[in-house]
Amino acid sequence: MQFKRVVVTGLGAVTPLGNSAEDFWKSLVAGKSGAGPITRFDATKFRTRFACEVKNFDPGLYLDRKEARKMDPFVHYAIASTDEAVADSGITSETVNFNRVGVIWGSGIGGLLTFQEEVLNFGTGDGTPRFNPFFIPKMIVDSSAGLISMRHGFRGPNYCTVSACASSNNALIDAFTYLRTGRMEVCITGGSESAVTIAGVGGFNALKAMSERNDDPEKASRPYDKDRDGFVLGEGSAAIVLEEYEHAVKRGAKIYCEVVGGGMSSDAHHITAPHPEGLGFVLMLKDALRDAGLDPTSIDYINTHGTSTPLGDPLELNAIYEVFGEHAFKMNISSSKSMHGHLLGAAGAIEAAACIKAIEYQTAPPTINLDNLDDTIDPRFNLTANVSQKRSINYAMSNGFGFGGHNAAVIFKKIN
């Protein structure tokens, strides 16, 4: 069949670097860190006592306070970012058939704070089962998708993708597929996560996955640096309005860029560790390029998964070299997680937003805190160390990998 073209017509974001898409981008290109001491709870006894928290966010700006209490913070973030993206896109019931507007949202964990609070309340009580009547709808991972559709009246396909830290990349790819095959005309996609909680920090500490650089949080997320010691937990959301190209043109929409391909694979290896030869990463990259019909030399910028872990960082770069060959040294590569931390199931969405903005402004954002390159990493890679770089970006790729061996990448193109 003849595929339809798919474009980006709206963006919204709530992040550790700013609570709008434009504020996020300004902080990103300026190389700012969103990390700081945890304020959500007393982290004194935890091995990691810092995170990249969303700051100065008031759900009351978007929701009636009574309604807000029925929702977990990951839903608050989703609604705020989606409100911005929908307004940015200009879609209304007068210009768009809402029966043909879908919502496909990604989250890896969902209402972790809600679950934690309800269990703690029960555990510290007298054993009488007193649970909030909104416990289940607040906690379930698909609540963002459902509530977004209810808020705006979108009646197209509606669901949540769950594939750990690849969740929102999978959501983007699903939305792209529905649109290019004509199953809908507009789709609100993206992801949200709010795991800076006792359970979230404690759980990742138990896995020994997070940095413990408590004396200098802003320097803790340092992908590719030989002194990295783990990732920094982040939270927030990004929303992206995808639209069939002719539909967008007909209504005179602003177009940021085009989505041209998505690649997926599985490591089939280990629940938390990547394949030791990066096999799944290679398969994902090749699948994305094949889906987009692109030669490897077409890609100008890659926002890597780049979590700042000793194992994952070099494996991803090795996979990039295996697929892109010598062109790997001509691209700009960076990990925006060095600034906003790891947003888990929302990582793909916020990093897709970074790629979309990189194309809009023809600028590759930096990898900050890259002071001493790991000896195992080829120095010929342009990892955009510490300072953003202006360059021609016609194609940008966003990579995402999740526990369980889930791999997903999305490719964006400057619109012609």
User: Residue written as tokens 């830290």?
Assistant: 165
- 269 in catalytic set: no
Q: Say which of 160, 342, 355, 406 is annotated catalytic.
A: 342
- 270 in catalytic set: no
Handedness of CA 327, 262, 247, 14 (dihedral sign): negative
Cα–Cα distances (Å) from 166 to 137, 257, 310, 319, 336, in that order, read 23, 22, 19, 17, 15
Q: Say which of 165, 187, 257, 355 is annotated catalytic.
A: 165
Q: Say which of 275, 305, 340, 406 is annotated catalytic.
A: 305
Q: Shortest CA distance to 253 belongs to which of 54, 37, 20, 88?
A: 88
User: Residue written as tokens 């990103």?
Assistant: 28
Q: What is the CA radius of gyration of the chain?
A: 20
- 327 in catalytic set: no
Q: Which two tokens stand for residue 286?
A: 């090749």
Separation CA 229–CA 183 (nearest Å): 45
Q: Which residues are annotated as catalytic? A: 165, 305, 342
